[in-house]
């Protein structure tokens, strides 16, 4: 979390997620399955602890259970549709379009997240910014 203390939780989350999403896109272009798996595992899910920490830091203690639900339930529900779309894409082409599409969507999400929440800082970050 040293990086998070230095540049902030949102920037840490986005800056660790962007390379992971780049590797997701690169996996579609890998010539062998082991290389594709390596690309998929590189930096995967590195942002999860930072994202959770950020959400818990910007809401009051009483709101934390609801905030955890609001951030986790939609992610779980959203995982239902992508396999159907991926199957459809792979049915029309053997290229890794699901990986490219997923990577592009996740990069878009990260950039929108950075733009929207760049200035929303947890209380402990606000104190450091003023110092």
C-alpha to C-alpha distance for 45 and 52, rounded to whole angstroms: 12
- Whether 42 maps to a domain, the answer reads yes
The yes-or-no verdict on residue 92 having pLDDT over 60 is yes
Question: Domain for residue 50, yes or no?
Answer: yes
101 within a domain of the structure (yes/no): yes
Q: What is the pLDDT of residue 131?
A: 47
Q: Is it the case that residue 2 has pLDDT exceeding 80?
A: no
**Structure confidence at residue 25 (pLDDT):** 93
Domain span at residue 82 reads 2-125
Spatial contact of 103 and 11, defined as CB atoms under 8 Å apart: no
In a domain, 23, yes or no: yes
**Residue 20: inside a domain, yes or no?**
yes
8 located within any domain: yes
35 located within any domain: yes
Domain count for the chain: 1
pTM for this structure? 0.74
- Asked if pLDDT for residue 125 goes beyond 70, the answer is no
Top-confidence residue, 123 or 34: 34
Q: What is the mean pLDDT of residues 45-51?
A: 72
Phi, psi angle pair for 92, to nearest 5° = -100, -15
């Amino acid at each position: 979390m040293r990086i998070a203390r230095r540049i902030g939780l949102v920037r840490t989350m986005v800056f660790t997620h962007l390379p992971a999403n780049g590797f997701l896109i690169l996996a579609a272009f890998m010539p062998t399955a082991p290389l594709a798996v390596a690309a998929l595992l590189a930096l995967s899910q590195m942002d999860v602890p930072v994202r959770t920490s950020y959400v818990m830091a910007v809401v009051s203690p009483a709101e934390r259970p609801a905030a955890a639900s609001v951030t986790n339930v939609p992610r779980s529900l959203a995982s239902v549709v992508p396999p159907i779309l991926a199957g459809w894409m792979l049915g029309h082409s053997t290229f890794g379009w699901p990986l490219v599409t997923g990577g592009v969507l996740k990069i878009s999400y990260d950039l929108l997240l950075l733009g929207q929440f760049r200035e929303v800082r947890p209380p402990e970050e606000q104190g450091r910014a003023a110092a």
